[in-house]
Structure 1
């Protein structure tokens, strides 16, 4: 058990991909899972690319079984797989809402349940749950995305209380805007999830303009990978890891001054609406 082993989900893009490369460069054995497995770099010594669909129970079992068969143990599980099913809360189909929870929340829950027996047996383990500042802050069109991240954080905190006695910790990383395909997918979904002649068309146009501008000022995925590594290896871990000052500021305002935060969102929406209509 001298070689450290990390399992990373959603490792074909953005933060997950950069984290896989970072852990490998630091000497870890990385088991990188994703649906688009062909996008994961192959490294015979350090990175093992595995197909993984976190919404599929058989896939989750196969992923963990492969790791334990090859490596014999798992030191860290990074639950990174996720996406934004954006759109009007009234109009997103229940099928898509359920898939949002299956991907962002239930997949992490099931994989964690699968690795915990091994972690308890070895008296050590770290569960790193990739939430978002969206677990505390919010914006229109992101109702179900925000709900999954809030659920992930509450679940992670309860889990941490339960498993700390076994030398295991469960922590959350809360990225803000990050340079990846996340924003493009969320924007695309916000339009495709509208019904024909939707009353929410002006709102979707306004939020799209604001979200697009926000994502343009995003930090690099490689910067967040460093935060992943800190959350996975720090001897006395925090329950929450945030990167940028702006992220920390927004989360603190949302937690401590919810009325002020709501007013700020409304003001920002009016600004982007004005900018959008003046074009």
Structure 2
């Protein structure tokens, strides 16, 4: 039986992915800081790990436990992450660094920890949950988008580097999904820049994020992750969820100024709705 480790599994995409992978026949380890929120997963037979992707000791201990229990690891789903928004001049560097710790360096460290085992097996799959935000941009989201652009570039390099060892690297690019993400992003946005020079942009972008009820259910992304995990020859990228395909298409075909106008117009329309 194949073994999977899923981070950020206490809610949303990570929780749904753990459930769907178990249904698909994997032995699943669900990792997150909020262990108490994973009791439902435990009741379904998923193995629960307490893990903080900013704490090296907890990541080392988690991977060691998976190997001690099963002797292998076949799939790593790097899903842990959050969105920190606010005008660039308002966001302290400490918060920018923490955004990278969670969204990039935690992901990178887990890759370092699982690759030796996958290399020994001559097989394995690493699925990095990025975002359409790894290909597009928004005002007031410089730090978040920087992290997702980094995940995209890191994944591309790893894909070539690990190919000789039978290890695939896949990127998942969710669009709008009904999770805690948008609420956390808006809270950070208003806290950092809700008053002052950027208040009108904050109002518009908050309204844009407020359309999250139109987003797809987390299971949509979980199903894509399972598909990527089980494919004989997976695609390098899978975009899914509300708005993902048309937004990425617009980014590909429009010049920068054209995409700027498109996005700013969408923000203004959301604020007027």
Same fold (TM over 0.5): yes
Equivalent-residue separation in structure 1 for 2:43 and 2:247 (angstroms): 42
Question: Residues 92-142 of structure 1, C-alpha deviation per residue, up to 9 Å, x if partnerless?
Answer: 111111110110111000000000000000000000000001111122121
Number of residue pairs matched by the alignment: 271
Structure 1 runs not aligned, ≥5 long? none
Match of 2:126 in 1: 127
Counterpart-to-counterpart distance in 2, 1:270 and 1:158: 37
Q: Distance in 2 between matches of 1:244 and 1:33?
A: 23
The CA distance in 2 between the partners of 1:243 and 1:55, in whole Å, is 28
Supply the distance in 2 between the matched residues of 1:228 and 1:110 (Cα, whole angstroms): 21
Q: In structure 2, what is the equivalent of residue 64 of structure 1? A: 63
Q: Residues 200 and 21 of structure 1: is their aligned pair in 2 closer, same or farther, counting only changes over 3 Å?
A: same
Alpha-carbon offset, residue 39 of structure 1: 1.1
Please state whether the residue corresponding to 1:242 is helix, strand or coil.
Answer: strand
2:245 aligned partner: 248
Matches of residues 184-263 of structure 1 in structure 2 within 5 Å? Answer: 184-194=183-193, 197-213=195-211, 215-244=212-241, 246-259=243-256, 260-263=258-261
8 Å Cα contact 1:136/1:255 also seen in 2: no
Superposition RMSD in Å: 1.6
2:9 is equivalent to residue 11 of structure 1: yes
Paired residues of 2:53 and 2:59 also in contact (CA < 8 A): yes
- The residue correspondences of 1:1-279 to structure 2 (distance < 5 A) are 3-40=1-38, 41-43=40-42, 46-194=45-193, 197-213=195-211, 215-244=212-241, 246-259=243-256, 260-273=258-271, 275=272
Flag the 1:245–1:200 CA change in 2: closer, same or farther, 3 A. closer
Structure 2 alignment gaps of length 5 or more: none
Worse-matched range after superposition: 86-95 or 263-272:
263-272
Query: Is contact 2:2–2:74 with CA below 8 Å preserved after alignment?
Result: yes
Please give the alpha-carbon distance, in whole angstroms, between the structure 2 residues aligned to 1:236 and 1:29.
21
Aligned in 2, Cα 1:92/1:172: closer, same or farther, shift over 3 Å? same
Deviations 1:130-179 (A, max 9, x none): 00011111221211111111110110010000101100011100001111
Shift of 1:252: 2.3
CA distance in structure 1 between the partners assigned to 2:200 and 2:119 by the alignment: 52
Partners of 2:200 and 2:43 lie apart in 1 by 51
